[in-house]
Amino acid sequence: MPRPKAKKIIVQFDDGTQTEAAFEDLTAQSQRELLKQPVLFDFSPDGENKKFVLLEWKDGWKEVKAVDSGCTEINRYYVITRPEDVGRLSLQKEDGYPELLEIGRTPLDLKRIGFVENHEIVPKQSDREGKKVDHFFSLNTHGDLLSTAVEAFRKALDEEGIDMKTLSNDIYPKIARRMGVRAFEQQQDVFDFIDYLAKNAAGD
């Protein structure tokens, strides 16, 4: 199910007083930081609606993140240098409000984005405005994420000598390490991703 929208934030002080504000009145940065906090917003996609973004860098590093099940496709990926590099991945959502992921780890070295399909990142152009540089990329599709991820999952099982019939949740961390998949933000996303692959591999 789609993640509920945050409407209001309430802060209570140790003297019993409290203050509140509409969530939309917070700065965009504050909203993003709050939405990253699992203690406040621990909404994982459920059932058949599970959707994940799998990021892969040129050095082989991989990270996975569960995203709102209403996300449908990638809008674009770009990097802003000001002077540090910050990558921004925009995902289109059914409700019309894009989901934005900020990529802090060497964003100019991101090689592939897996979301529904695998998207190879190709530099397109860079525009300079004073000390700011905007880097834009083309996204070339190459196969679907689920098929390639399930194949990698099965390979990891074989290398670990694990049979699908004996697979259990406590083995998921070992499989994730073998696949080289780490958490973008929350470790639970890694386990949910492995569980998602296991269910699809078993259903083939």
> Quick one: which of 46, 43, 23 has its CA closest to 34?
23
Question: Average pLDDT over the chain, rounded to whole?
Answer: 87
Position 135 confidence tier, pLDDT thresholds 50, 70, 90: very high
> What residue spans define the domains of the chain?
1-43, 146-203
Instruction: Enter the pTM of the model.
Output: 0.75
3-state class of 131 per DSSP? Answer: coil
- Which of the four pLDDT bands, split at 50, 70 and 90, describes residue 44? very low
**Residue 23: count of CB within 10 angstroms of its CB:** 15
pLDDT digit string, tens, across residues 159-176:
999 988 888 888 999 999
CB atoms within 10 A of CB 31: 15
* Mean pLDDT to the nearest integer, 9-14: 88
